[in-house]
Amino acid sequence: MNPRPEPERSLPPGSGFAIAFLFALVFWAVVATGLSVAVLRHGAAPETPPSTQDLM
């Protein structure tokens, strides 16, 4: 048994870029989900800060 993988089983050229792109896509999806969950748990931020509302 040869411990090294055979060249025929190696990934096709360009698959490294696809894997990196998918990894980045999943990473940013997790980041966006975490941020949205944090904002929803904290409550939606008011459109205007309270300091400007006090002046009106």
DSSP states of 33-49: HHHHHHHHHH-PPPSS-
Contacts of 45 (CB under 8 A, 6+ apart): 39
The pLDDT tens digits for 27-54 are 999 999 998 888 887 776 556 666 655 5
**Per-residue confidence (pLDDT) for residue 24, from 0 to 100:** 96
- When pLDDT is cut at 50, 70 and 90, the band that residue 21 belongs to is very high
